[in-house]
């Protein structure tokens, strides 16, 4: 089950599985965020290219307005995916605390 919402510290918390069927849900939520946004991915178990597409589209929109998307707390598996897709060169990746 995929969930996306604001967390206690202002970050956007994603949890569960972000697959092609859930990416419209993520997209709809992220279309509303502004500025420099941190995504807390500690609870995100899975992401596919559809989810990466949502992150890329959002990051592009925010960058154009001087903002950005930071990715925090990603698991080893997610970090691999970011690396394979070159996202580690596009996004600021915050190591898990």
Partner 1 sequence: MADLEPILAVATKLAAPFDLETMLAEVADAAKRVLHAERSSVWLYEREADELVLRVAADLAPVRIKAGTGLVGACARGREIINVPDCYADPRFDPSTDRRSGFRTRCLLTLPLVDHKGLLVGVMQVLNKTGGAFDAADEALGAVLAAQCAVALQRTLMTAQLVEGERLRRELEMAHAVQMSTLPAAMPAVAGYDVYGTFIPADICGGDTYDLALIEQGLLVVLGDATGHGIAPALSVTQMQAMLRMALRMGAELETAYLQVNNRLAEILPGDRFITAFIGLLEPAAHRLRFLSGGQAPILCYKAARGACVEYPPTSFPLGAMALPRSRQAVAIDLEPGDVLALLSDGIYEYCDFGEERVRELLAAHHGKSAAEIAAAVLEAVKAFAAGAKQEDDMTVVLVKRAPAASRVFMRDLDSLEKIFAFAAAEVDEELRPAVELALEELFTNIVRHGRQGEAPVRIDIGPIAGGVEVSLVESEADPFDPTRAPEVDTSLPLERRRPGGLGIHLVRKVVDSIEYRYAPESRTGRTTFRKTKGKADVQD
Least distance between partner 1 and beta carbon 87 (Å): 8
- Distance (Å, whole) CA 10 – CA 65: 19
Q: How many CA atoms lie within 13 Å of 26's alpha carbon, on the beta-carbon side?
A: 29
Only segment of 6-14, 29-37, 51-59 that touches partner 1 (CB under 8 A): 51-59
Burial class (CB in 10 A: 0-12, 13-18, 19+), 46: middle
Query: 44: part of which helix (H) or strand (E)?
Result: strand 36-47
Instruction: Determine if 25 is a binding residue for partner 1 (CB under 8 A).
Output: no
Instruction: Determine if 42 is a binding residue for partner 1 (CB under 8 A).
Output: no
Least distance between partner 1 and beta carbon 9 (Å): 26
Residue closer to partner 1, measured from CB, 42 or 90 = 90
CB contact at 8 A, 69 and 87:
no
Residues forming the site for partner 1 (CB under 8 A)? 17, 19-21, 46, 48-50, 52-53, 56-57, 59-60, 63, 77, 80-81, 83-86, 89-90
């Amino acid at each position: 089950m995929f969930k996306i919402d604001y967390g206690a510290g202002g970050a956007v918390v994603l949890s569960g599985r972000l697959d092609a069927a859930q990416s419209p849900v993520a997209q709809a939520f992220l279309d509303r965020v502004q500025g420099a946004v941190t995504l807390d991915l500690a609870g995100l178990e899975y992401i596919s290219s559809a989810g990466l597409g949502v992150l890329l589209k959002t990051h592009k929109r925010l960058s154009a307005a001087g903002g950005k998307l930071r990715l925090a707390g990603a698991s080893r598996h997610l970090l691999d995916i970011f690396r394979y897709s070159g996202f580690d060169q596009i996004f600021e990746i915050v190591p898990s605390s």
